[in-house]
Structure 1
Amino acid sequence: MTEALNNTPAPRGRAQLLALHAESGVHAGTGSTISHLDLPIQRENFTKLPIFQASTVKGALREHFESLAASVTAAGEGTRQAAEKQVDAFFGPERGDLTAGMGLIQEGRLLLLPIRSRVSVYAMVTCPLQLQRLKRDVAGILPYLNDETRASAERFLGLAVPEPGESQAAVVASSPLQAQSTGHIFLEDYRFQVLAPFESSCDALALWFSEWLYGSAQPADLTDQYFKSRFATHFAILSNDDFLAFAEMHLPIETHIQLNEGGTVAFGPWNEEFLPPDSVVSLAVVMPEPLTGVPGTAVFPDSDAMNTYFAAGVCTGTRIRLGGGRSLGKGLLRSALLGGTIGLATNGEPTC
């Protein structure tokens, strides 16, 4: 049995590990109400952790790629039509009963949550559960990654994951989050004891995440330089229960009303939940090798063609929109591909 498994050919295809880094509050709603919340965000039923449902991510990415296709109109009608065919092939046609899209898009899971700190403004916080789930995702797509991305993925898989207990925290060495001479960090109104033995593990994880989010090379943009440096020093790991409590009970909620022409209340109030700015959600996008005769192979003859198309559209540094409240500046996300480089938009077309 073991010999048979070892002789199984490697899966054919490509994959990308995508991070969506919020630059504004993000409301990916459920369309229903719960208790005190009129418009809650999407969450897992069993952990109550925020998520982006796969259909939500797919819709946002499709809209983004459609806008890129529309931007090539100046290059000629034939070029625009070819770009539209690429969108339909990768994401599926508008009529979903015709055929499925060639790209497989996973649900987005909350990976990092900004939490207010009494010292140094806020921390970028995660927990062992979400790190181990990310490791499982990375291991699952490892055979599909190209050589450069696979090297970074394997480095992450080899890193140790600290497991602090309740009211404990793992932080990087000389973290500015620590209150002087106390051996504690203070998040919201809670105190967490810092565990010094985990500093080296946190240093390695913080460096890996900063390279994923902002590129392994020094970013050319001064703002990206600042946030990459800040992330590497403000990274923290809490216990699963503590992290889940923050993610369930401490997200921003905004109250709104609608006024009539006379300036009095026409409708409301209602409240709306958001994932806060600087939150990071991660997901995998898999592009299996297309079978002969499958619709779309005329556009993407192989998985390498799909991978090139997808990576060019969402290369690190690309901005996309997701969720509601866009007229209020909500839903702005910055993409980051594992092993990707900073992309700059030129006439609506990002280059990596």
Structure 2
Amino acid sequence: MFQASAALFFYAISPVHAGAGTALGVIDNPIQRERHTDFPIIAGSGIKGAIRHHFWAEAADDKPKNCKTMVERIFGPDSQNGEGFAGAISFGDAQLVAFPVRSIKGGFVYATCPLALARLKRLLTITGQSADWVIPDNSLLKDKALCASKKPLLNTTLALETFTYHAETDDDNGNVAKLAKWLAQAVFGKDKGDYFHDKLTNELVVLSDEDLSYFVRNATVVEPHVRINDETGTADDGGLFYTENLPPETLLATALFASKERTNNDQRAQAQAYKAEDVMRFVLEGDGHQHQGLLNSKVIQLGGDATTGRGLVQVSALFTEHAAKEHS
């Protein structure tokens, strides 16, 4: 049973390729998607592996034995290790919160929908966070868009890709503006004047579930690649393939859970065992020595194609310490 939890946000700085491993369509290397919604996700197993590597790599040159011991205490041992015990940290799948869609005015907007917002609010509830914004009614959004402000609008029209929507700057209670402000603070902090903080605050757009579904299926980044022959230096015949990426400025969220450390005295070299809050604080804030933590490091790498600059994401978290009853 987990005793501490946090909501993690991943904001894509570069294209992100979390590969599905199989291809059913014309794209050779598609991204991971949910079966029932086709929304893009990043599997929790991939997130945990990438963050485990992040902690290992940042201190591997400084006392590697101690580093390995600490990483294994928190994340669990390698599968080849004979000393089996479960890790004290768990990551859920990262689900879509907002997706960048091309706009005639302003370049792009952050598009979301009631389904994505309902999932985010459920995640916040599970992790002990609160949010005072209201989820719009999907049935009222057919051919319509709710916008946090007038910035992305042409009069009363919002033009996205080749589609136009009748736009309202907000509902009667200002819920979209309140949502956009809350989200910008959660993802980028409370400093006004930062370009992306202000853009998310002013250019968040709520579309219907059906309209956002279209954009996340048809407006990702698809790149052609060729295989080069080592001898001739030219493209190999039949070496053309296509790779799909989440576009930069995509926002996803996931749940992070922690339990008390599960190692015994010998495995942790007689050190004091971590409580769940200690585990959470280590992952988010580091230990003040080798490990800087997710929040201090700000940017980590998720997914594949790291050598071509893919997968850079900025991390932020909402964390409230709380205890839970343990179950055997």
Provide TM-score, normalisation by structure 1. Answer: 0.80
Of the structure 1 ranges 23-32 and 317-326, higher mean CA displacement relative to structure 2 is found in 317-326
Choose the corresponding residue for 1:186, options 159, 179, 193.
159
Q: What does residue 243 of structure 2 align with?
A: 272
Aligned positions of 1:1-352 closer than 5 A:
13-70=3-60, 73=62, 77=63, 80-95=64-79, 98-142=84-128, 153-154=129-130, 156=131, 158-163=132-137, 164-173=140-149, 175-179=150-154, 181=155, 183-198=156-171, 200-216=174-190, 218=191, 225-260=194-229, 261-266=231-236, 267-290=238-261, 298=271, 300-312=273-285, 313-315=293-295, 318-338=298-318
* Deviation for aligned residue 1:258: 1.4
Residues 103-137 of structure 1 deviation map (CA, whole Å, 9 limit, x = unaligned)? 01111111110000011100011111011111111
* Deviation for aligned residue 1:293: 5.5
CA contact (8 A) 1:300 1:306 kept: no
CA contact (8 A) 2:259 2:279 kept: no
Q: Percent sequence identity over matched residues?
A: 27
Mapped partners of 1:103, 1:32: distance in 2: 28
Q: What does residue 325 of structure 2 align with?
A: none
Q: What does residue 148 of structure 1 align with?
A: none
Q: What does residue 324 of structure 2 align with?
A: none
* Deviation for aligned residue 1:140: 1.2
* Deviation for aligned residue 1:263: 3.9
Mapped partners of 1:12, 1:245: distance in 2: 37
* Deviation for aligned residue 1:317: 6.0
**Partner of 1:242: helix, strand, or coil?**
helix
* Deviation for aligned residue 1:34: 1.4
* Deviation for aligned residue 1:69: 2.7
**Partner of 2:171: helix, strand, or coil?**
helix
CA contact (8 A) 1:125 1:235 kept: yes
Q: What amino acid maps onto 1:201 in structure 2?
A: N
| Residues 94, 320 of structure 1: alpha-carbon distance in 2 compared, 3 angstrom cutoff | same
| Aligned-pair Cα RMSD in Å | 2.3
Q: What amino acid maps onto 2:41 in structure 1?
A: I
**Partner of 2:257: helix, strand, or coil?**
strand
* Deviation for aligned residue 1:84: 2.1
Q: What amino acid maps onto 1:184 in structure 2?
A: T
Provide TM-score, normalisation by structure 2. Answer: 0.86
Alignment: residue pair count: 304
* Deviation for aligned residue 1:291: 6.6
| Residues 253, 12 of structure 1: alpha-carbon distance in 2 compared, 3 angstrom cutoff | closer
| Unaligned segments of structure 2, at least 5 residues | 286-292, 321-328
Q: What does residue 326 of structure 2 align with?
A: none
Mapped partners of 2:185, 2:319: distance in 1: 8
Q: What does residue 289 of structure 2 align with?
A: none
**Partner of 2:11: helix, strand, or coil?**
strand
CA contact (8 A) 2:170 2:177 kept: no
Mapped partners of 2:176, 2:167: distance in 1: 12
Residues 39-71 of structure 1 deviation map (CA, whole Å, 9 limit, x = unaligned)? 100000111110001111111111111112325
CA contact (8 A) 2:6 2:319 kept: no
**Partner of 1:185: helix, strand, or coil?**
strand
Mapped partners of 1:86, 1:301: distance in 2: 11
Mapped partners of 1:316, 1:168: distance in 2: 40
| Unaligned segments of structure 1, at least 5 residues | 1-10, 143-152, 341-352
* Deviation for aligned residue 1:197: 4.6
